[in-house]
Amino acid sequence: MSQEIPENMHEVVLKVQELNETRHGADVVTEEEVMKDAVHDTLQYWADYLLDGHYDDVLWDGEDLVIEDIMGKRVGRVKPMSATFANDYRQSPEGTLFRLENEANKIIAQR
């Protein structure tokens, strides 16, 4: 997977520090934002990988992630296991990222 996507809480903390150091007092980035980005980017990564290119877009719909095809049709939805994906990630980063890979496989395979 991409080096830019944190795969555990230690990498989340490092990414928060890195991003906040470069902002020099501007809006502070939180762990929750970094975890949400990691979840989104992971699902987008797997969609792109499985389709051999960027044809589908992963978008937030409330606390859910949806996948839209190139024509804008929603072809899949992934809901968090708990209230939010940030909670899921905090409890089990590896399990959450693995689940997103499996969900991407299911959504792409059904087409």
Could you tell me if residue 26 is inside a domain? yes
Q: pLDDT tens digit string along 51-69?
A: 999 999 999 999 999 999 9
Could you tell me if residue 81 is inside a domain? yes
Q: How many domains does the chain have?
A: 1
Helix (H) or strand (E) holding 87: helix 85-91
Residue 12, pLDDT score: 98
Could you tell me if residue 50 is inside a domain? yes
Could you tell me if residue 3 is inside a domain? no
pLDDT at 21 over 80: yes
Q: pLDDT tens digit string along 22-49?
A: 877 678 999 999 999 999 999 999 999 9
Could you tell me if residue 4 is inside a domain? no
Average pLDDT over residues 93-109: 97
**Does residue 62 or residue 4 have the better pLDDT?**
62
Residue 25, pLDDT score: 67
Closest to 56 measured CA to CA, from 94, 103, 99, 96: 103
Q: Which domain holds residue 83?
A: 9-109
Spatial separation of the C-alpha atoms in residues 22 and 31, rounded to whole Å? 16
Is residue 47 a contact partner of residue 104, using CB atoms and an 8 Å limit? Answer: yes
